């Protein structure tokens, strides 16, 4: 977590430093990301970073937090087209919103992909941070859906959250891999919509 010295910085200076750090870690594997390059671009002394954060790992984990919050905040602040949508309609909308969030915050999304796929000595902590953010979001949705009878209350809420969160967490990577060679914006492709619809149908009907 950032030290009070960092939190006391003017908002503009704090944001500028974070943008530079986000770009450096998103563009390089963790071991190759350079604190020296960050401070050079920020125009500050190298020692300043260690007045802001404990070490490189501490800074990186904070950037993971910032990125998770940026993407989840975009999703939560974008209301569904239909306020009366049920659980599955809301989840279907969130699939599109999640992909749009990654496009709205491409550097944040790129950093998170590196964080989840790179062999880091503190990988468990990275996954736990992401899980906590998504858990809080889906726990509310699942609890409301079970309370209103939209989801089967026989299933433990934590297991429903686990299944939904696991699926949502991997869906973006699946689509990125599938459409990585497609020129331009692929979010609105019929194939993408069909993928979202198929996933929702699988969740609604089950695999048995």
Which pLDDT does position 32 carry in this prediction? Answer: 93
Rg of the chain taking only CA atoms, in angstroms: 19
Cα–Cα dist 60/33, whole Å: 10
Confidence band (pLDDT; 50, 70, 90) for 39?
very high
Which pLDDT does position 78 carry in this prediction? Answer: 79
Average pLDDT over residues 62-67: 93
Q: What does the mean pLDDT of the chain come to?
A: 88
Number of domains in the chain: 1
Residue pLDDT, tens place only, 184-204:
777 778 898 899 999 999 999
Which pLDDT does position 47 carry in this prediction? Answer: 92
Range of the domain at 41: 4-205
Question: 8-12, 100-104, 136-140: which has the highest mean pLDDT?
Answer: 8-12
If you write DSSP's letter for every residue of 81-107 in order, what string do you get? S-TT--HHHHHHHHHHHHHHHHHHSHH
Which pLDDT does position 8 carry in this prediction? Answer: 94
Burial of 101 (0-12, 13-18, 19+ CB in 10 A): buried
Cα–Cα dist 37/99, whole Å: 30
Q: Report whether pLDDT(103) > 90.
A: no
The CATH number of the domain holding residue 65 is: 1.10.357.10
Cα–Cα dist 59/62, whole Å: 5
Average pLDDT over residues 84-106: 87
């Amino acid at each position: 977590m950032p030290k009070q010295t960092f939190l006391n910085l003017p908002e503009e200076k704090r944001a500028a430093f974070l943008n530079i750090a986000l770009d450096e870690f998103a563009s390089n594997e963790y071991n190759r990301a350079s604190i020296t390059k960050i401070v050079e671009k920020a125009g500050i002394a190298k020692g300043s970073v260690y007045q802001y954060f404990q070490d490189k790992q501490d800074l990186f984990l904070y950037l993971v937090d910032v990125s998770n919050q940026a993407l989840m905040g975009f999703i939560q602040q974008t209301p569904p087209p239909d306020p009366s949508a049920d659980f599955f309609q809301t989840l279907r909308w969130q699939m599109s919103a999640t992909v749009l969030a990654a496009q709205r915050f491409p550097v944040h999304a790129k950093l998170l992909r590196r964080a989840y796929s790179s062999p880091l000595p503190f990988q468990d902590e990275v996954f736990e941070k992401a899980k906590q953010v998504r858990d809080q979001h889906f726990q509310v949705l699942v609890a409301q859906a079970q309370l209103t009878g939209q989801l089967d209350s026989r299933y433990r809420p934590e297991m429903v959250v686990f299944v939904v969160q696991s699926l949502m967490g991997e869906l973006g990577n699946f689509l990125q891999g599938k459409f990585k060679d497609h020129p331009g914006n692929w979010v609105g492709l019929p194939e993408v919509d069909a993928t979202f619809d198929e996933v929702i149908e699988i969740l609604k009907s089950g695999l048995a």
